[in-house]
Structure 1
Amino acid sequence: MNLCLPYASVYMIALGLKDWEIGFVATIYMFTQVIFAFLGGPITDKLGRRKTTALFDFIAWSIPCLIWLRAENFWFFLVAALFNGTMKVTTNSWDCLLVEDAEKSQITRIYSLVISCGHLSALFAPISSILVSRLTLVPAIRILYINAFIVMTIKIILLYAFSRETQTGMIRVRETRGKSMASELYGYGGIVKIMLASRGTLFAILISALVGIVGMINITFWQVIVSKKIGIPDVLLPFFPMFRSILALVSFFTIIPRLTKADLRIPLLVGFGVYIIGQSILIFTPVNGGIKYLILCISLIFDGFAVGILAMLAESLVALHVDAAERARVLALLQMTIMFVSAPFGWIAGGLSGISRNLPFVLNIGLLIIGIIATVLHYRKNKEVEA
């Protein structure tokens, strides 16, 4: 998928979509995630973590790849977003499959390893560049979506073949056998009480929502500002995310392990602060001269580190504060809440981008400042409680 992502938004523009339509597709994608995050817990409990991941990975990734491949206008992308939004079911089931049989002390390291492997995929970005330079944008991206369909489908088969159901998963499958989805959804009332009673869970929701919103805006509109405002040629677009991913990967094995040895307050504050610097540099990158390439790379140095540490910390905070016995349903409600809060921001950022390509990133800076304030207040309150 990382072969396609650097071109996703400019692919839409090449097929005639406007900025607000790109933002609207992102919002529909997020709202679909809200619905399926809500349903994800009961589905994961009834089918099991392993089967749920295989089935909904195919619905959420393989099918949309075929739609993106044949896309001709706004409506194709809207339908693909509806299918793609079901990925929130597998966000739930995959998280359970990944960490339910793990020791709590290992969870942060597990997420670091998985995210690192994800960043390794960006090293294949030159393939996209070569195709675009030889075939032009639209034909090249269509070929990349064929490749994405094949590779993602193989991934689904391999994961199903070589994984095993978790202990908690087997218990929940037995407990929910013969029960309707409606009865499982009705049980969410007690889960809400569990969540509201935990300050740590509420903090994890806020941090995950902020990181998710900023990441969504960055992924969707970074290509637009770099291509349409700063004037970077389309053929070079994949190299910048590759550079960012390499930096994130290096930080995983150098800086981040040192930062996360203590409590998570310092790495959270560092991550938010560094992200603000990166976004600010992006906004002020000049549009003329070769210096813009250097300044854009400096921006990505800060972004790469921030994305690496905040993605890992957001996942870890949720995993650490989730009630183990009700992990699937708690994660489902967490994801639903996060997506519900995040959903309008795709449309908002699209409208802002139509006014100025800089404004989505000004919005990001405001959200990151909220993250700093929330982190300071949360850990200050924790100290008061301990005292």
Structure 2
Amino acid sequence: MIFQKFRELPDNPRYSIWLEPLWAIPGTIVLFYAPLYMKGAGLSDIQIGLINSVNLYFAFVFQMFAGAVTNKWGRKRTSLIFDLVAWSVPMFIWAFSNNFWLFLIAYLLNATNKFVTVAFNLLIIEDVKKQQRSHVFAMMNIIIISAGVLAPLAGGVISKYGIMPTLSVIYFAGGISMTVMFVLRNYLTKETEAGKVMIEANSNTHILRGVLQSFRLFGQSLRDRRILPILLITIISNIILQMNFFQVIYLKEELGFKDQMISWIPFITAIATIFVYSVVMPRMRNQSDEFYVKLSLALCAIGSLLFLFIPSGNTVMLCIVTTVLAAGMFLLPTYRDALLMNRLGKYEKADMFSSVQVVMSIVAIPWGYISGLIYAYKPSLLFILIFISYASVIALAFPMGRKTRRLVEKPLMIGEEE
């Protein structure tokens, strides 16, 4: 069933899904171990939080221009340029980072991935039918999460050789792997139909004018009851993601889990995610995207609550919590993003998606530093706040899919949806 859905997809998402492991395998490992890698380089909790906040600040600046640049340069070209700047170059810098300033430079460059967030998401879904979009997001997320099965192998190597030399090699090899992927994907994919229209329409448009257009459309969206709840859910869930950055450090320093055990978390996450996608979801195929968003938030809330009660060194409880959180955190971005894309007009996706990311960045900027302060004061307090956040956002999702169900097929702005 999964392979049949994959074969039915257009070239852009199919080629992108095939090539995604070249990013996902090294990317998943280094992102998971990034906090411990920075700690191993001698950075304090406050410095780590500061780097996160600086990264978020510049991400906000770049995000303001992402929609306009994507419309002017095209989805394909924008993805290639900023993938190289945001991932290839920083991966090589991270490989040799041994102080605060090198990490800061790498994370500043990595902040340009906000251009990629807009351009690549449009590249893989704009020529896809609406009912197929959740499958595209699901398959991409499955690949990224499934790469976690290699984390125990990395954990074993880390236990033998240490986190700094092991991660340095993975960063360097990942830089090569990602560069090959970006170039090859650019060769195999083609500009989307909507992208071609927007390139022509914006050929003589100044970038700043495009930025203003993005915010004008976003302002209109705030008055639309179909899209406001999903916007708020997207923004708040991104804040929670920033707060979760210290989870690995908490498991090691506060709960006493060894690096080897922690390395199994991505593996358990991958197995749970594959089970949800291949076994559970096919039995719930008649449910709406709104239903899955509500379900995912409920699972995240339950998982974050259980996380607070993990006894020190208790691997069974850790596995249970990881499984529940894995299911929720897989379903949430998959159906949240599909629902958001489906409610936007055909030619407004770049501007609207960019403006959503801008607002997310504005709100998230202080949370890297705030999370560091909260964790330094009392580590468990940070995860109590995460649970409260998930529990609160469920109220936003509850009305979705009820009175507004008939309106979903109508795009938010001008331009008929394909």
Do both share a fold (TM > 0.5)? yes
Counterpart pick for 1:217 among 213, 233, 243: 243
Aligned to 2:19: none
Counterpart pick for 1:359 among 375, 378, 381: 381
Segments of structure 1 that go 5 or more residues without pairing to the other structure are: none
Contact 1:204 1:321 (C-alpha < 8 Å) held by counterparts: no
* Structure 2 residue 335 is matched with structure 1 residue 313: yes
Aligned to 1:302: 324
* Structure 2 residue 226 is matched with structure 1 residue 204: no
After TM superposition, the structure 1 = structure 2 runs for residues 22-61 of structure 1, keeping only pairs within 5 Å, are: 22-61=48-87
Q: Which moved more, 1:27-36 or 1:292-301?
A: 27-36
Q: Secondary structure at the match of 1:165?
A: coil
Contact 1:3 1:127 (C-alpha < 8 Å) held by counterparts: no
Q: Secondary structure at the match of 1:286?
A: coil
* Structure 2 residue 272 is matched with structure 1 residue 247: yes
* Structure 2 residue 303 is matched with structure 1 residue 278: yes
Counterpart-to-counterpart distance in 2, 1:377 and 1:105:
22
Contact 1:249 1:308 (C-alpha < 8 Å) held by counterparts: no
Q: Secondary structure at the match of 2:149?
A: helix
Aligned to 2:15: none
Contact 1:50 1:93 (C-alpha < 8 Å) held by counterparts: yes
Counterpart-to-counterpart distance in 1, 2:377 and 2:319:
25
Q: Secondary structure at the match of 2:198?
A: helix
Aligned to 2:413: none
Q: Which moved more, 1:253-262 or 1:221-230?
A: 253-262
* Structure 2 residue 118 is matched with structure 1 residue 78: no
Aligned to 1:261: 286
Contact 2:46 2:376 (C-alpha < 8 Å) held by counterparts: yes
Counterpart pick for 1:375 among 397, 403, 406: 397
Counterpart-to-counterpart distance in 2, 1:215 and 1:188:
25
Query: Which residue identity is paired with 1:299?
Result: V
Q: CA deviation at 1:14?
A: 1.4
Aligned to 1:227: 252
Counterpart-to-counterpart distance in 2, 1:283 and 1:20:
23
- After superposition, the C-alpha distances for 1:78-103 in whole angstroms (9 at most, x for unaligned) are 22221111111101001110111111
Contact 1:227 1:234 (C-alpha < 8 Å) held by counterparts: yes
- After superposition, the C-alpha distances for 1:223-268 in whole angstroms (9 at most, x for unaligned) are 1111111111223322112211221121012223444632344333
Q: CA deviation at 1:142?
A: 0.7
Counterpart-to-counterpart distance in 2, 1:267 and 1:326:
25
Counterpart-to-counterpart distance in 1, 2:379 and 2:71:
43
Contact 2:76 2:123 (C-alpha < 8 Å) held by counterparts: yes
Q: Secondary structure at the match of 2:227?
A: helix
Counterpart-to-counterpart distance in 2, 1:182 and 1:352:
37
Counterpart-to-counterpart distance in 1, 2:260 and 2:361:
33
Aligned to 2:357: 335
Contact 2:198 2:347 (C-alpha < 8 Å) held by counterparts: no
Q: Secondary structure at the match of 2:205?
A: coil
After TM superposition, the structure 1 = structure 2 runs for residues 136-155 of structure 1, keeping only pairs within 5 Å, are: 136-155=162-181
Contact 1:205 1:337 (C-alpha < 8 Å) held by counterparts: no
Q: CA deviation at 1:343?
A: 2.4
State TM-score, norm by structure 2: 0.86
More helix by share: 1
Q: Provide the alpha-carbon RMSD of the alignment.
A: 2.1
Counterpart-to-counterpart distance in 2, 1:134 and 1:296:
24
**Number of aligned residue pairs:** 382
Aligned to 2:17: none
* Structure 2 residue 204 is matched with structure 1 residue 182: no
Contact 2:83 2:113 (C-alpha < 8 Å) held by counterparts: yes
Q: CA deviation at 1:189?
A: 5.0
Quickly say closer, same or farther: Cα 1:369–1:260, change in 2 above 3 A: farther
State TM-score, norm by structure 1: 0.93
Quickly say closer, same or farther: Cα 1:384–1:185, change in 2 above 3 A: closer
Q: CA deviation at 1:323?
A: 1.7
Quickly say closer, same or farther: Cα 1:384–1:153, change in 2 above 3 A: closer
Counterpart-to-counterpart distance in 1, 2:395 and 2:259:
38
Aligned to 2:13: none
Aligned to 1:101: 127
Contact 1:6 1:237 (C-alpha < 8 Å) held by counterparts: no
Contact 1:269 1:372 (C-alpha < 8 Å) held by counterparts: yes
